[in-house]
Amino acid sequence: MGIKIAVLASGRGSNFQSILDGIKEGDIDGKVVLLISDKRDAYALERARQNGIPTQVISRSECSSREEMNLKIKEALDRYSPDLVVLAGYMRIITDEFLIPYRNRIINIHPALLPSFPGLDRQKQAFEYGVKISGCTVHFVDGGCDTGPVIEQACVDIRECKSADEVCKKILPFEHKTMRGVVAKFSKGKYIVEGRKVRYEAD
Ligand code: GRF
């Protein structure tokens, strides 16, 4: 039956789609059991519905604090006991209520080569800084802002890009490939975290 995957997304959900494609095409041995969004109008919700995946909206405005929001996420996840939780363009801070019980099972996709350009607007930061090579990083989530152990990275040459928007467009397909690849490997083995290092053991 493969692994149970839960996905959190705030927006269009193209990274979520890359996971769905990986499942359909047989690269990922598993299924998405739940899609959570903090935004009622996120297109990711529509993608989930089209694929018969249960959805839940947990918005910040309906919670009295960030901690309460994270507790609600944890409770929603607990009902499905996922093996892996993917933050696929989820634009909210994770707190201990959710992080501690799911430690080393939450991964995030970041559109820059960490530790360069953490936080928001990273493609814009990379463009404005004038770097020639950027890319994307899939990492475990810890208590910091994009500081968790790195699982996988891909380099993207952005020297021909004329705007931050072009950088976003150029990096996005690499995000999809890297995210899908990591989830596929996760479904067929395990990532072991040793300090800052992540190593992989196939089943
Ligand atoms: C991606 O660039 C992701 O790296 C960032 O937000 C964007 C989300 O895109 N965190 P999508 O919703 O997966 O299409």
Nearest to 133 by CA among 114, 171, 159: 159
- Given this model, what pLDDT does residue 16 score? 98
User: Which ligand 1 atom is nearest residue 87's CA?
Assistant: 10
The pLDDT value given to residue 162 = 98
Cα angle, residue 77 at apex, residues 104 and 3 outer, rounded to 5°: 60
User: pLDDT, tens digit, for every residue of 87-142?
Assistant: 999 999 899 999 999 999 999 999 999 999 999 999 999 999 999 999 999 999 99
H or E segment and range at residue 78: helix 66-78
- What is the structure's pLDDT at 134? 98
Tell whether pTM > 0.75: yes
CA of 15 to the centre of ligand 1 (A): 6
Mean pLDDT, residues 155-167: 98
Query: 193: CA distance to ligand 1 center in Å?
Result: 25
Indicate if the pLDDT at residue 1 is higher than 90: no
Reply yes or no on whether 110 is catalytic.
Answer: yes
Q: Percent of the chain beyond pLDDT 70? A: 100
